Structure 1
Amino acid sequence: MKKTWRNTLLSLSMSAALLASAVPTFAAEAPAGFAQTTIKVNGQVVDYASGEALVEKGTTLVPLRSTLEVLGAKLQDVRNGKVRIVVDDRTITLGANAKVVGGVSFIPVRTVAEAAGYDVRWDRQTKTVLLVSKKTGEAARGFLWEVKNGPTTVYLVGSMHIADDSFYPLRDEFEEAFAKADYLGVEIDISKAAGEEQQQMIVDMGTYQDGTTLKDHVSAATYKQIGEILKKNGLEANAFDQFKPWVVETTLGSLQSSDAGYDAGLGVDLYFIQKAVERKIPVLELETYESQLSMFNGLSDELQERNLQAVLDNFGEIADSTNEMAGMWKSGDEDLLLEMTNSIAEDPEYYKALLTDRNIKIADKIAGYLKSGKAEEYFIVVGAAHYLGKDGIIKLLEDQGYTVTRK
């Protein structure tokens, strides 16, 4: 399993949505005035037999009867547009009226989902509404630390940038700390990953501009292996020709994790970004899209091909290693987190670029918040791999005289 850790550690150290696809997608035709979107319930796409989820003036509407069915609720009646449903033997009157489109009754998804006991999240990158049941087992421990300096408090959260519904609900300590926060700090605001500026950066840095293609920059054996995997997945063998090895590597790794049920839309950082928007508190970016993409683009050609080859050689095992990381996160196992983090150090160039250099800059920003002298609370969410070890954020803060306490 250790061989595949380095290929999935991006979920612990980098913002997983930053490599949103640069290839445009086209929605199927929808009724006039509407745009279609996708609904996932606990990670599974809802395939509506009658009607589709629609967006009208920023509000997502879903077919009433079929949505209630997948949420485990029942329709009691609809009178004059008012909807009453039954959830766990309780009758609830929904706070929004039903709307008939093409003979099908629609209702705002947030209204019906929250009444049925689901959290509602939005994945802007894939235009997907994510519904996650609150009726789960014991809350995951995760990684949460606290640092104080005078009247200022900083909470440090170690994130997995991709997750599934089993990560939620988070334990009360996370929610209570966030409820008091005046600011949310993240690596980058991945809710903006599908923006035109960010997509253009991927094209500018991640594609060849000199007339060459991927085939000219990797070995014949590596190129052949890429083609075989693409064909097995229903794509043309040359589908990635325009992209550099680091884009191909991260894309293939993300595909494997996605097939295993992990989604950037359920990532811990995006979860809190969405809550920050709801609370209307500032979201502070500790890095930039440009700096993260430049880190990848600045890797030597040799390292890019090594990383790509490692993904190709372990392609069928990436889902298993992601599962192991998810288990590590949910159990809050510091020893295993440190072991995974240290595995990157076996490649000095990769370790320096992915963690060491970035940790110094992030720790300095956190120290700046601590030195503000203001009675403010910061809730910082960055990849879990950044915190532990001799070059980790916790050690860097301790070296500056701060006491970091696990919560």
Structure 2
Amino acid sequence: MYYEEKLFALFCDLTDNIVEDAISDRVKEAFKKANSIVFELDLHNPSTVETLMQCKNMPNGDDVSHYLPAKLYARLKHYIRKYRQRLASWSNRVGDNKIEARKRARHIYNSVAGGWEQRRPVWLLFLLYQLSEKFAQREHIPMLDLYLAQYAIETNKRLLSIETPTEQCNPLSSIDREQLLFAINYTLSYLEFEQDRLSKRTIEDGSTGLPDLIYHYNCGSLEASIFNLDAKRFNHLGFSLSPELDRKAQQIDLQLREDIIVKRNVRMAKRIAALLRQADSNHYFFALGAGHFLGENSVLDLLETHGFTIQPVTEKDHISFPQLDDKRFQKFTELWIREIPHARDPTIDISVSVIELSSAPSVCHCASRQNVLLIICLLISLARWPGK
């Protein structure tokens, strides 16, 4: 007997114009042909969304003034007010209709900084990280996983989630309260430095790692040296408090990456491997955050440790899709409910292939002339031969 499983994985950190203009029709076809779509969380479940909202905020109606020193709280409040003013100014400048400009500014503010005074320390830190994004980019970043989940439901696909709300609510295990407060103060100091620098140039000239990430990935690189920039996120523009404080900030940043990315990658890879070793004939499409596929200790790297082989597949390679039974699924299945170890079957040959797809309008002029979308497609082939 011979059977195959196909798995495709999509980066979720995409803007809507990238989704429409850059994603290959081949990838869209893969999504349509897949019968199982795996997300980080079931965001169509009201209890999941409620849990996420509750875990981000302080209990009992407390606010950030309960844990932030008075001077730090005053600085943060002043910065948020200035941020909102700059956002309104930018929105008026880029739009003709004042009413729509106000709506745009309000929408972006609420999506990024709304309810900031109620945030727990870790979620306040994450909020500050987002404030350095350009306004225009914040306006066009949709909840792509929500869009894909809705489309999957409409097309009767099986939906699975790979993490629990609790796991995402409490992502940090190695950072204590003192380190969090230091990180909040250091990040705010950087934002104040950036704001002062930008006030001397242009309102929209913010800094972000997203364009660099897209550029390098379009040039065909998943190397850690390109994407492992977290520990240098602050000093690349000349920002520094002191050598000692800078080193402390970099160490905390590395710990954050370990907790937020690497440890979750280990958990995700384990669950993906267990899923793919099940003896069922399925096409899997994984919609996960971009950070889980980039750099060292990525999900791809860790799948290799589970016995999978990673190899590139080009646009010219042929991918066949075995016929599937006409099944109807409309409910999320949580992969984390049961984590039963699966014995390695020596009769199964497992390989994972990364498909590098070129887009029609090239936005990258690399020496290699290789244009790769912000998409990773994984092809899982399992072959079982008769008599074994």
**TM-score band, normalised by the shorter chain?**
0.5 to 0.7
Alignment partner, residue 279 of structure 2: 373
Alignment partner, residue 12 of structure 2: 159
Letter in 2 for 1:165: N
1:198 to 44, 49, 53: 49
The equivalences for 1:2-401 within 5 A come to 151-160=4-13, 163-169=15-21, 170-192=23-45, 195=46, 198-199=49-50, 201-204=52-55, 206-209=57-60, 213-232=63-82, 233=84, 240-254=116-130, 257=133, 259-262=135-138, 266-296=142-172, 299-315=175-191, 316=194, 319-325=206-212, 327-328=214-215, 331=218, 333-335=220-222, 339-341=226-228, 343=230, 347-401=253-307
SS, match of residue 137 in structure 2: coil
C-alpha deviations, 1:134-191, integer Å up to 9, x for none?
xxxxxxxxxxxxxxx952222222331x524244232123112112211000111335
The whole-number CA distance in structure 2 between the counterparts of 1:182 and 1:368 is 18
Alignment partner, residue 106 of structure 1: none
| C-alpha spacing 1:204/1:172, structure 2 compared with 1 (3 Å) | closer
Give the conservation status (yes or no) of the 8 Å contact 2:56–2:123.
no
C-alpha deviations, 1:58-110, integer Å up to 9, x for none?
xxxxxxxxxxxxxxxxxxxxxxxxxxxxxxxxxxxxxxxxxxxxxxxxxxxxx
Letter in 1 for 2:354: R
Aligned length: 253
Letter in 1 for 2:161: E
| C-alpha spacing 1:342/1:393, structure 2 compared with 1 (3 Å) | farther
Higher RCO, 1 or 2 (CA under 8 Å, sep at least 6)? 2
How big is the shift at 1:241?
4.0
The whole-number CA distance in structure 2 between the counterparts of 1:377 and 1:176 is 12
**Percent of paired sites with the same residue:** 19
SS, match of residue 7 in structure 2: strand
Letter in 1 for 2:218: S
C-alpha deviations, 1:310-365, integer Å up to 9, x for none?
44234357942154256337726434675324635953421221012111111111
| C-alpha spacing 1:286/1:296, structure 2 compared with 1 (3 Å) | same
Say which structure is richer in strand: 1
Give the conservation status (yes or no) of the 8 Å contact 1:163–1:267.
no
Give the conservation status (yes or no) of the 8 Å contact 1:182–1:376.
yes
The whole-number CA distance in structure 2 between the counterparts of 1:333 and 1:310 is 34
Give the conservation status (yes or no) of the 8 Å contact 1:167–1:330.
no
The whole-number CA distance in structure 1 between the counterparts of 2:305 and 2:54 is 40
Tell me how large the CA RMSD over aligned residues is. 3.5
SS, match of residue 295 in structure 1: coil
Alignment partner, residue 354 of structure 2: 406
| C-alpha spacing 1:332/1:163, structure 2 compared with 1 (3 Å) | farther
How big is the shift at 1:386?
1.0
The whole-number CA distance in structure 2 between the counterparts of 1:240 and 1:164 is 26
Tell me the TM-score normalized by structure 2.
0.55
Alignment partner, residue 58 of structure 1: none
Letter in 2 for 1:168: E
Give the conservation status (yes or no) of the 8 Å contact 2:230–2:254.
no
Tell me the TM-score normalized by structure 1.
0.53
The whole-number CA distance in structure 2 between the counterparts of 1:183 and 1:332 is 30
Letter in 2 for 1:260: A
| C-alpha spacing 1:202/1:300, structure 2 compared with 1 (3 Å) | farther
The whole-number CA distance in structure 1 between the counterparts of 2:18 and 2:295 is 28
Letter in 2 for 1:190: L
Say which structure is richer in helix: 2
How big is the shift at 1:402?
0.9
The whole-number CA distance in structure 2 between the counterparts of 1:334 and 1:326 is 9
C-alpha deviations, 1:234-270, integer Å up to 9, x for none?
69xxx74443222223334445547233358634433
The whole-number CA distance in structure 1 between the counterparts of 2:179 and 2:155 is 42
| C-alpha spacing 1:190/1:197, structure 2 compared with 1 (3 Å) | closer
Unaligned stretches of 5+ residues in structure 2? 86-108, 110-114, 196-204, 232-249, 311-352, 356-388
| C-alpha spacing 1:249/1:243, structure 2 compared with 1 (3 Å) | same
